[in-house]
Structure 1
Amino acid sequence: MPRDQIDAVVGEWREQLPDVVGPSMELGKRVHRLAGRLQEAVRDETAALGLTPAEFDVLSALRRAGPPYALKPSELAAGLLLTSGGISNVLRRLQQGGLIERAADAADARVAWVRLSERGVATAERIVRAVTAAQARLFAPVPEALVAEAADRLRELLIALGDIAKEEE
């Protein structure tokens, strides 16, 4: 079997600190490297549309929510692992760009909603398609069955680590 760059790194650690080498190190390094490749693809596509990865995350979360494409800022922040300050900055930029609208809840003025504008819906769909296509290009040299198996195994690992969907808790 051919060796990847992580094999070389692990081999060096095996010589220097053999007690730190194991499957968890190899998995961690490979997941980190793969995440970097995926993040690079996202950055390239979002930059081409004048967006940041955080703006992409907000637009895609709102679009994924379905009509009326609205969520509370706190829901966005929690779902995207952003601080309240971080989400505020992203929302301000998206609002200035005409991609989102903010509105108070008709029943409770203390509650604010973030909603995709008509332009925001179209932009969200365009960027989600672009990012998905970039990910498909990244994995194109890999047999589809291997990609599916890797996704299934990673799901098993995440579930074993307690990363369970809310509706299943």
Structure 2
Amino acid sequence: MAQEPLDVVDAITGQWRSERPDLDTLPMAVFGRIYRIARLMGDRMEKEYQRYGIGRGEFDVLATLRRAGEPYTLSPRQLSAALMLTTGGMTGRLDKLERAGLLDRVPDPDDRRGLRVSLTEKGLRVIDQAVGAGLALQKATLDAVEPAQAEQLADLLRLLLAASAEPGARR
């Protein structure tokens, strides 16, 4: 009697083993699960951020400013580079966040042609709440494994991330 698959990835790899027994489906099992976890958690995080009036893209901008430390200010170029966005894509996000009162754009005192983007007090409150809520959601999910297993998983994924990057690419 055939064993029932444990999850959808087991079902997929089982089908491939049946159809193509010559293939090693372990990589498919690993990366299929990584992909599915990223999609599922990404969707859950997006819903969590919506409670704070922001989406994932806006979260990324606010979080990048917050991580920069006081005075929570960067140039649009620095933000674009950190988030790997075009300047046009960044402008749309900044416009939306400025309209929401979460950041300000002011002239750069060191460059007459430049701007500086800064978190407002409201933006600081929103990102601090959103990052805390997102981490709580991630922690609740990660509680499915023991703390030592979570550390080991983080280490193994770091190795896979390094192995996945193109030579010279930023990870």
Could you tell me the TM-score, scaled by structure 2's length? 0.86
Corresponding residue number in structure 1 for 2:7: 4
Corresponding residue number in structure 1 for 2:69: 66
Matched letter for residue 113 of structure 2: R
Paired positions, count: 165
Gaps of 5+ in 2: none
Corresponding residue number in structure 2 for 1:112: 115
Percent identity of paired positions between Structure 1 and Structure 2? 38
Deviations 1:52-100 (A, max 9, x none): 1101111111101100101122222222232322211111010001100
Shift of 1:19: 5.1
Corresponding residue number in structure 1 for 2:141: 138
Contact 1:45 1:127 in 2 (8 A): yes
Corresponding residue number in structure 2 for 1:89: 92
Aligned counterparts of 1:136 and 1:59: Cα–Cα separation in 2: 21
- TM-aligned CA distance change 1:106 to 1:144, over 3 Å: same
Partner-residue secondary structure (3-state), 1:154: helix
Q: Which has the higher helix share?
A: 1
**62-71 vs 24-33, greater mean Cα deviation:** 24-33
- TM-aligned CA distance change 1:149 to 1:118, over 3 Å: same
Matched letter for residue 53 of structure 1: R
Backbone CA RMSD of aligned residues: 2.1
Corresponding residue number in structure 2 for 1:25: 28
Gaps of 5+ in 1: none
Corresponding residue number in structure 2 for 1:57: 60
**75-84 vs 132-141, greater mean Cα deviation:** 75-84
* Residue among 16, 19, 29 paired with 2:19: 16
